Structure formats: structure tokens, C-alpha cells
Chains A and B, each alone.
Chain A
Amino acid sequence: MHRRAATVLVLGMLSVVLVGVLAMPAVAEITRGDCRGSATFPDKSTDRILDAARPRSDVFEAPLSATIGYSGDLGPAAEPSDEEIPFEGGVVIRLPRLSWQIVGWVGATKEVSAGGEYTYDLPDFTPQGTGGMQVTAWHNHGGTVCEAVVTVSISGSPGGVAVGAAAVTVLAGAGTLAAGRRKP
């Protein structure tokens, strides 16, 4: 009887977790300013363009390595200036309760748009097929602030790391249940 009740307790906790996950709301994308921006992944067969206006709830699957083309501007009303304006910006990954800036830039320019190519190559042990990572790109151009949020995951299927983590989780769960064993 007690064993059945303990099982129900554990399954109940898992159900609460899953219900909470499925109930997460879909929210918006460009959070500040009128900026526009996109990145093109030419090696992908489908869903090649990651646009800054993409809804946060729509996870974009990026390959483990790629050469991408990017472009962005400060908005339809922005025009080049005669003198250089200082700017700064960066790309931030949101973690639970904190954020981690992975790329940053700073300088001065007369332009209001930029573009080019960028090549990246993530190590093979990078987890693939995971839940989304919320990536925020921000840019401050002489006081004009833009911010866009997209959700990205690395394409692929969960590999041995995920299986190992699940196995260790089961062991830790067994240890937790063993805490309910009476002392002699």
C-alpha cells in the first residue's frame, strides 16, 4: 500500500512538471526598437532563413556548423549620418535565472545597416536535438536601442549524452526512494 502511494507521489510530480511545460505561452520576438535582421543558412534544405521577427515559440533548428549570411538595419526610417555614431551590441543566451553573453561588438559608423558572412563550427559533443535555447541579440546605436529574441536548437537527435543522463537520473531517483527505507 505504501509502495503504491509512493509511486503515485512520484508520478504526480512528473505530471505537474509536464503540465507546466505544455502550458508555456507563446510570446513575441522583437522586444525593443524597429530593427530588422535575418540570417540565411544556405546548407539547409528547408527553413533556411532565421528572421528576427520569428516568433519565440517557433524553434529554429541550426546545423552544428555552417557559413551563414547575415544582414540587419536600424529600421525603415533610419538614414546614414554625416558623422560617425558609436554603437555596441551582443548576443546573449538566456539561462535559468541568469544570462550569458557569447558575442559582443563595439565601434563607430555612419551606416545604419550591416551585412556579411559568418562561419561557425560547434564541437561534436554539443548536445543536439535539445529543447530550445533563447538567444537575444541587442544593439545600441547612439542611444537607439534594438533587441530581438529568437529560439534556437542544434539539429540532430539526442545521442549518448542524453541516454547517459537519463540512466543516471533513474539511479538518483532510486536513491531518493531508498531514503524512504526505514532505519534498522
Chain B
Amino acid sequence: MKGRPILGVISGFLFGFLLGISLFLWGVIPLHSDFLWILPLLGIVLGLVMAWWAPFGKTSEQPAPVTSPPVESMDPESPESGPTS
């Protein structure tokens, strides 16, 4: 994963749990609503998706490996001879 999965699981669970509590406290859902246990699970999934997707931050571009073109042997009869430094 390119992001932070542990942070995603912990904060996602808390986000879903607290979102459910807030929705109840603000009178949006009743206390027996299944959303109170579904939302923490959705939060964990969201955290993992965010960690897998990692849409934020700079892309770590690795420099392309430097390859030098093969040097032809000076002596055509000695194929094992390489370039001399």
C-alpha cells in the first residue's frame, strides 16, 4: 500500500463510530439503528481504501536507471574483451 493502512483502520473505525454517535445525538437516527455498528465497519473499509489509493501527497518518482550503451569491442576477434577504463 502506498498510504498508511494502520492509520486508516484506526481513524476510519473512530470516524464511523463517532459519526453514528453524532447522528444519534443530533436526532437523525434512532438508538437501535443498525447504522451504529455498520458505520464503524464502513469507516475501516474507507480507511483501507484511502491507504491503498493514496490520492494525496507527492508521487515518489524514482530516477530512471542509467544504462550505458554497450561498447563494441575494439578487437573483433576477442568477443569477451570489455571496455577498458
Contact = CB atoms under 8 A, between A and B. Distances in A.
Interface of A: 2-3, 5-6, 9-10, 13, 17-18, 20-21, 24, 93-97, 127, 129-134, 151, 153, 158, 161-162, 165-166, 168-169, 172-173, 175-184
Residues of B in contact with A, size category: 35 or more
A180 B50 CA distance: 4
Interface in B11-62: 11-12, 14-15, 18-19, 21-37, 39, 42-43, 46-47, 49-51, 53-60
Given A175-B7, A178-B4, 15 more contacts: A2-B56, A6-B55, A9-B46, A9-B49, A94-B31, A130-B24, A132-B30, A134-B30, A162-B26, A169-B22, A172-B43, A176-B15, A179-B7, A179-B51, A181-B4
A131 B27 contact: yes
Given A181-B4, A182-B59, A133 B12 contact: no
Contacts, number: 150
A161 B56 contact: no
Contacts of B19: 17, 169, 172-173
A94 B56 contact: no
11 contacts: A20-B35, A21-B29, A130-B27, A131-B30, A134-B32, A172-B15, A179-B5, A179-B51, A180-B54, A182-B56, A183-B54
Given A131-B23, A166-B26, A172-B14, A182 B31 contact: no
Contacts of A94: 31-32
A172 B15 CA distance: 5
Nearest to A99: B32
Contacts of A169: 15, 18-19, 21-22
Contacts of A6: 50, 53, 55-56
Q: Helix, strand, loop or mixed for chain B's interface?
A: helix
Contacts of A9: 46, 49
Interface string B1-13: 0111101101110
Contacts of B24: 130-131
Contacts of B50: 6, 176-177, 179-180
A5 B55 contact: yes
A84 to B, nearest CB: 36
A31 to B, nearest CB: 14
A29 to B, nearest CB: 15
Contacts of B34: 96-97
